Amino acid sequence: MVSLAVSLMVAMLVVIAASAAAMKHDYKDALMKSIKFFEGQRSGRLPPNQRIKWRDDSGLRDGFDNHVDLVGGYYDAGDNIKFHFPMAFTTTMLAWSVIEFGDSMHPEFSHAIQAIKWSTDYLLKATKYRNVVYVQVGDPWADHNCWERPEDMDTPRTSFAVTKKYPGSEVSAEIAAALASSSIVLRRFLPRYSKLLRARAEEVFKFADTYRGSYNNSKVGPWVCPFYCDYSGYQDELLWGAAWLHKATKKESYLDYVQSNVYKIGRHWNIGEFGWDSKDAGISVLLSEYLFFNKVDWKPFVSQADEFVCSVIPGSSSPSVIYTPGGLIQKPQMNSLQITSSLSFLLVVYAKNLKKANRVVQCEHGAVTPSTLVKLAKSQVDYILGKNPMKTSYMVGYGRRFPRRVHHRGSSSPSIKVHKNFIKCKDGTPYYIRKGYNPNLLTGAVVGGPDEHDWFDDDRNNPGQSEPTTYTNAPLVGLLAYFSEH
């Protein structure tokens, strides 16, 4: 069995190497576009330097139903709802991308900073009042019944919060992680603002930990589920938030929290999971840098990071992913490329930490080197950019062939700059069902991606494949920055 696994791994890596040699990509161009995409997802009053010109101001009364200012932030996907759980994860991943690979982002570095700050400005508003965290704006049931531009939306813009009585530890702790990680990025450029982010992160984390409970079970549950229901439990976000607070503040108390709670917190560790819902593999990789360089032998984190690698690498006897015939890492669910980009990001970060520590990962099928992890991650990025059986880029605006019928209300409807008349809820339906290309290019958007057979249907009526999300793009920003110089 071992020899067969080794043979499979070698064969896969030969395919990866051949694919890389056959097609070269302009990673800097893809990086620019991947960051630009976030401007297409902005809510609120757009700034003068807005680069996606077909968008305009939207959601200018968000939060007013509760007499708070919740104007701004990001729409997470192709609809007009602001879900703060995935928005916060997106922000954390953008910040982590800059922390790890910011030196490789020039000349796009300033745009990456702007993308982060657009979100943190909003998250500060959402956490302005002690022991109250706003977690969503908009009625998703009404919104999903309409096809409207964000500039036109007339569905209820209800704002939802978690409180001491009705807690939401997962979303609150993820917001704490977003604020803490962003404070690291902005420390050098905006020290006072960075200090505010750090202090707010500590305050919000304390709320998340003191009043434990899932927002699934709170008053907001019927509005966040099934869209962004927390399926993995809130315990991973508490560890994730504490790990980021340690990195941001250097306070040993947060490290002690992680160490003492990893077993007490009472949940199964999902070795190969990382995304807006489950943070397990990310916690281990994030902590590995500290543990390696401070020579701390903490179980389970380093062993779990190694297990993550062994479960993802081709030929694993205990795989946590599948590989399509074309070599794409997948899990059987909607929006497959969010998994691809998130796991690939972890592979490169862990490879970076392993290389500095002069380590390899010992898997059942042999030793896995940092360079092997980088090659695997690069094959995934190249697949997304066009080296795949469909010979299509899955990033809008990149390459000769890319998705043209993206499941996105603003992209598929005429721009308000061109069609100034109000488009009511059902009046937008013809733009949804038409077969033609979207009139507005959502530059840089990475769509859901192909199925397990590498097949992709460019159809806005198939959101699992054609809908973009911010949390797919965010880790890809870091990957593209890395590969633009390596």
Please list the active-site residues. Answer: 407
Whether 13 and 378 have beta carbons less than 8 Å apart is answered as no
Those residues whose C-beta lies under 8 Å from the C-beta of residue 430, and which sit 6 or more positions away, are none
DSSP-assigned letters across all residues of 292-348: HHTT---TTHHHHHHHHHHHHSTT-SS-SSEE-TT--EE-SSS-HHHHHHHHHHHHH
Q: Hey, which bits of 49-187 come out as E strands?
A: 82-83, 132-137, 159-163
C-alpha distances (whole Å) from 343 to each of 42, 244, 250, 426 are: 26, 18, 27, 39
Residue 365 CA to residue 391 CA, distance in Å, equals 32
Residue 332 CA to residue 322 CA, distance in Å, equals 8
Whether 382 and 25 have beta carbons less than 8 Å apart is answered as yes
For residue 163, the SS3 value is strand
Distance of CA 26 to the CA centre of its chain: 22
Instruction: Return the bridge partners of 82, or none.
Output: 137
For residue 483, the SS3 value is helix
Indicate the helix (H) or strand (E) that contains 481: helix 470-485
For residue 23, the SS3 value is coil
Which residue, among 110, 244, 279, 80, has the nearest Cα to 189 in the 3D structure?
Answer: 110
For residue 92, the SS3 value is helix
C-alpha distances (whole Å) from 402 to each of 354, 391, 447 are: 35, 9, 10
Residue 334 CA to residue 450 CA, distance in Å, equals 10
**94, burial (CB in 10 Å: exposed 0-12, middle 13-18, buried 19+):** buried
Phi/psi at 201 (nearest 5 deg)? -60, -45
The alpha-carbon radius of gyration of the chain (Å, integer) is 21
Q: Using CA of residue 76, residue 77, residue 83, residue 89, what is the dihedral sign?
A: negative
Whether 99 and 110 have beta carbons less than 8 Å apart is answered as no
